[in-house]
Amino acid sequence: MSDQVTIPAAPPTEGLAWQVAVATLSRLFINTARRFAYPFAPALSRGLDVPVTAITWIIAANQATGLLSPLFGPLGDRWGYRVMLLLGLSIVAVGLLSGGLIGVYGAVLVALFLVGLGKAMFDPAIQAYVGERVSYRRRGLVIGMMEFSWAGSFLIGIPFVGLLIDRLGWRAPFFALGGLCLLGVAAIGLLIPSDRRRRHPAVLSPGFRETWRLLSRDRGALGALGFAFLLNVGNESLFVNYGVWLEDAFTLGVVAIGTASTTIGIAELVGEGFTAFVADRVGLKRAVIVGLSLAMLSYFTLPFIGQTLPLALVGLFMLFLTFEFTVVTAYSLFTEVLPRARGTMMAALTAVSGLGRVLGALVGGAAWQTGGLMAVCLVAAVLSLMALACFGWGLWHWRD
């Protein structure tokens, strides 16, 4: 590891399991708030009396907030991660409750922007917190279990939101999720102790500029950032097109595509489970290489095996399983790449991943117009190979 400063291990944290559980539940609420505008765009457009296309601006504003996360990572490194957890979750709660209460388009736009902003604070902070308090040998287990909140938002949160909208109207999810986030703020405030005074001086000494200079000079950190960027460009290029492919190839309607999409949610859940219960035993670095190799194989084979709907769903399942396993395992590893500035490292990863998804949507659209599914999968596989090259360049000789 290029960062040679030795930082004493944090003392054992009492109640760590409860802290992780509360943080995971809070992330479930945030992720549900982040994702529910996608499937329920028509319901929001009717409730706000705006065209459906106007909801895309809300989604875009929500996604763009990920690019702001590098502003908050160094603050977590200096102020303590608990502060950023409370601040991020509070911003989400205030945004949701205000959007539901005011109930006009501008308020909802601001509300979901604040949801994204709060997530950009919360996610790097909790990843860094776990990185500081959980042994590296068990890092994959804890990060993997926390990531159940991502798949859970698709499998549990979205159906819950749909039920609320059906029974109580489009504002109901804003009040329900906002209230749950307030409960999360209270629980985190009670269960997670202040960590500012317990931080080692070597962590607190770099200023904002020095922290980013530290990251820019670390080969492992740069390799991780290149890996995350290219991996997300490749996957997003397929993700934005899978619905079009299912509709064109198998004449599926909107409801059928939505039902088929549960395959992706289940695959994400299984991939996160593999990270939690397998990655540490295999070794995180080796697991990332194996997972990404299998993801590349899934990209290459999908156009050939996806000739019938059942096989197409099997292909999508394997692709998103291996992708999710790779991403969650890699992030478990990356919490240890820059131990002097974990918050900065994870925030930078959040930003480049978001930028990769934005570019991936553009690349995927062009690839689909050029050669359909075959071109999209080829582009995704090549980008994944480039991501693997970045990973090898930055982390081949890295040791925890």
pLDDT at position 213 is 77
Looking up tokens 């549900």 gives 32
Confidence of residue 400 (pLDDT cuts 50, 70, 90): low
pLDDT at position 211 is 67
- pLDDT score of 8 more than 50: no
Question: CA-to-CA distance for 218 and 126, rounded, in angstroms?
Answer: 22
- pLDDT score of 309 more than 50: yes
Among 153, 60, 36, which residue's Cα sits nearest to residue 109? 60
The single-letter code of the amino acid at 253 is: G
Confidence of residue 78 (pLDDT cuts 50, 70, 90): confident
CATH class of 16-191: mainly alpha
* Domain locations along the chain: 16-191, 210-393
Question: CA-to-CA distance for 223 and 393, rounded, in angstroms?
Answer: 6
pLDDT at position 316 is 92
pTM of the model: 0.79
- pLDDT score of 343 more than 90: no
Region of poorest pLDDT, from 175-189, 190-204, 211-225:
190-204
Average pLDDT, the chain: 85
Confidence of residue 196 (pLDDT cuts 50, 70, 90): low
Range 210-393: architecture per CATH: Up-down Bundle (1.20)
288, 322 in Cβ contact below 8 A? no
Question: CA-to-CA distance for 169 and 47, rounded, in angstroms?
Answer: 8
Confidence of residue 205 (pLDDT cuts 50, 70, 90): very low
pLDDT for 366-377, tens place per residue?
899 899 999 999
Region of poorest pLDDT, from 172-176, 208-212, 230-234:
208-212
323, 294 in Cβ contact below 8 A? no
- pLDDT score of 157 more than 60: yes
Mean pLDDT within 50-64 = 79
pLDDT at position 202 is 44
Mean pLDDT within 79-106 = 93
Mean pLDDT within 275-297 = 93
pLDDT for 259-273, tens place per residue?
676 788 899 899 989
Mean pLDDT within 328-344 = 88
pLDDT at position 344 is 84
| Cβ-proximal residues to 242 (8 Å cutoff; 6+ apart), any chain | 316
pLDDT at position 288 is 96
Do the two domains 16-191 and 210-393 of this chain adopt the same fold?
yes
pLDDT at position 151 is 84
pLDDT at position 381 is 96
- pLDDT score of 66 more than 80: no
Which three-class secondary structure state does DSSP give residue 400? coil
Q: How far is CA 268 from CA 2, 135, 155, 230, 272, in A?
A: 33, 25, 10, 19, 6
Question: CA-to-CA distance for 356 and 230, rounded, in angstroms?
Answer: 7
- pLDDT score of 98 more than 50: yes
Burial class (CB within 10 angstroms; exposed 0-12, middle 13-18, buried 19+) of 21: middle
* 149 or 257: which leads in pLDDT: 149
Mean pLDDT within 214-225 = 88
Which three-class secondary structure state does DSSP give residue 370? helix
The single-letter code of the amino acid at 59 is: I
- pLDDT score of 337 more than 80: yes
Which three-class secondary structure state does DSSP give residue 310? helix
Mean pLDDT within 52-81 = 79
| Cβ-proximal residues to 141 (8 Å cutoff; 6+ apart), any chain | 276, 277, 279, 280
Mean pLDDT within 281-289 = 93
* 263 or 384: which leads in pLDDT: 384
